[in-house]
Amino acid sequence: MSAPTPPLVLGIETSCDDTACALVDGEGRVLASVVSSQLAAHRPYGGVVPEIASREHLGNWPEVSERALEQAGVDFGAVDAVAATRGPGLVGSLLVGLSLGKSLAYGLGKPFLAVHHLEGHLYSPFLDAEGGAARTAPERFVGLVVSGGHTSLFDVVGGRVTSLAETRDDAMGEVFDKVGKRLGLPYPQGPKVDALAEHGDAGRAVELPVASTKASLDFSYSGLKTSTLLAIEALEAAGVDTTYAPDRDPPFGQEVLDLLASFRRAAVEQVLRRLRRLHRRHALPLLAVSGGAAANRLLRRELLAWGSDAGVDVRLVPLTFSGDNAAMIAYAAALRLARGEVDDPLEAEAVSRLPLGA
């Protein structure tokens, strides 16, 4: 690998349950991206326990940072700037990563950048999964972020972000998790529901509603969640066995798989309807799609098909960078650094609720 192009940015991401450290160079090349999952620690509780997450971050950091430096073939002395997520997220978790980043920057005498988690996701579709230079984001693009906490559309012009739409209730990834949880799937349920839906036929199941938020581009997923939970109940009332049987392949009967396919179709269709409407109002030059739920297979297929029909350049985040990671934080910081922006490590604070571009 050729030598990193300065500035070399070390990124830290600890907003939820993943402890992540990455090194990204001045061309946006990801030299290392290490994500340590805390799944095992949270699994017994069926979801993320904030107290456990903070403690795990502290315990995981030494190994995660050492592995990242080793992968990149550099030591702390080669780092030109340090970035960490300041929010939104679990405040205890954020505090761990932010404090580590601040003290590291201060100790090294290097610039510090406190990055918004969603700004990280927004630019992640431009990263190269094979370690090549990042593609340059155009002056203007629309970003779709679909994750466990957000379902959002942003207009990005020259690095300035304006919010176009947000979910009014649940996030897309969150309802995948909740539907999966109702069926007894282990956490995180979203990817498993998606994989199971691949084996179902939406046309054979009850049709589930695609929420309308009238003229607004906002999203709403709680109605779909309720309808899906009721549809599961209706199957059970009709005598269908909905028990999760991990030893069987597939672990559910066909009726449940069909229902999951119907659920997924409605969830994805809502995103497409908002995009079609937005595109009718202002032709979209480029759509950058990111966030954990951007790994959804149907969403990826449908967005690419729509983009090629509508003439929109759709950039899907590489699967390695769809879930939370620190490469996206380091890259967003590198872009800000190139614009001459830095933060004071003594001032930056962790914020659990932090709108972007509101």
Binding site for ligand KG4 (CB under 6 A): 16, 147-149, 173-174, 176-177, 188, 190-191, 194, 291-293, 295-296, 323-324
For residue 195, the minimal CB distance to ligand KG4 (Å) is: 7
Measured distance CA(264)–CA(254) in Å, rounded: 15
Burial of 9 (0-12, 13-18, 19+ CB in 10 A): buried
Identify what 61 binds: Zn ion, ligand KG4, none; CB under 5 to 8 Å per kind: none
Measured distance CA(317)–CA(123) in Å, rounded: 9
Nearer to ligand KG4, 29 or 300 (CB): 300
Residues 148-167: b if buried by 16+ CB within 10 A, e if exposed: bbbbbbbbbeeeebeebbbb
For residue 327, the minimal CB distance to Zn ion (Å) is: 13
User: Measured between alpha carbons, how far is residue 334 from residues 3, 27, 111, 283 in Å?
Assistant: 17, 9, 11, 29
Nearer to ligand KG4, 300 or 336 (CB): 300
CB-based contacts of 280, cutoff 8 Å, min separation 6: none
For residue 3, the minimal CB distance to ligand KG4 (Å) is: 32
CB atoms within 10 A of CB 45: 10
Q: How many residues bind Zn ion (CB under 5 A)?
A: 2
Report, in angstroms and rounded to the nearest whole number, the Rg of the chain calculated over CA atoms. 21
Q: Which stretch binds Zn ion (CB under 5 A): 132-140, 174-182, 187-195, 321-329?
A: 321-329
Measured distance CA(303)–CA(310) in Å, rounded: 10
Identify what 56 binds: ligand KG4, Zn ion, none; CB under 5 to 8 Å per kind: none
Q: Which stretch binds Zn ion (CB under 5 A): 30-38, 132-140, 237-245, 316-324?
A: 316-324
For residue 76, the minimal CB distance to ligand KG4 (Å) is: 27
Identify what 188 binds: Zn ion, ligand KG4, none; CB under 5 to 8 Å per kind: ligand KG4
Measured distance CA(132)–CA(127) in Å, rounded: 8
Please identify which residue in 36, 54, 147, 325 interacts with Zn ion, judged by CB under 5 A: 147
Nearer to Zn ion, 147 or 227 (CB): 147
Nearer to ligand KG4, 105 or 118 (CB): 118
Identify what 295 binds: Zn ion, ligand KG4, none; CB under 5 to 8 Å per kind: ligand KG4
For residue 179, the minimal CB distance to ligand KG4 (Å) is: 10
Is residue 167 at the binding interface for Zn ion, with CB under 5 A as the rule?
no
Nearer to ligand KG4, 268 or 286 (CB): 268
User: Measured between alpha carbons, how far is residue 28 from residues 23, 32, 123, 126 in Å?
Assistant: 9, 11, 11, 9
For residue 291, the minimal CB distance to ligand KG4 (Å) is: 5
Please identify which residue in 25, 170, 255, 324 interacts with Zn ion, judged by CB under 5 A: 324
For residue 210, the minimal CB distance to ligand KG4 (Å) is: 16
For residue 70, the minimal CB distance to Zn ion (Å) is: 25
β-sheet bridge partners, residue 290: 145
CB atoms within 10 A of CB 301: 11
Residue 33 half-sphere exposure, CB side, CA atoms within 13 Å?
25
Identify what 323 binds: Zn ion, ligand KG4, none; CB under 5 to 8 Å per kind: ligand KG4
Measured distance CA(179)–CA(207) in Å, rounded: 16
- Near Zn ion in 1-60, by CB under 5 A: none
Measured distance CA(9)–CA(224) in Å, rounded: 41
Residue ranges binding Zn ion (CB under 5 A): 147, 324
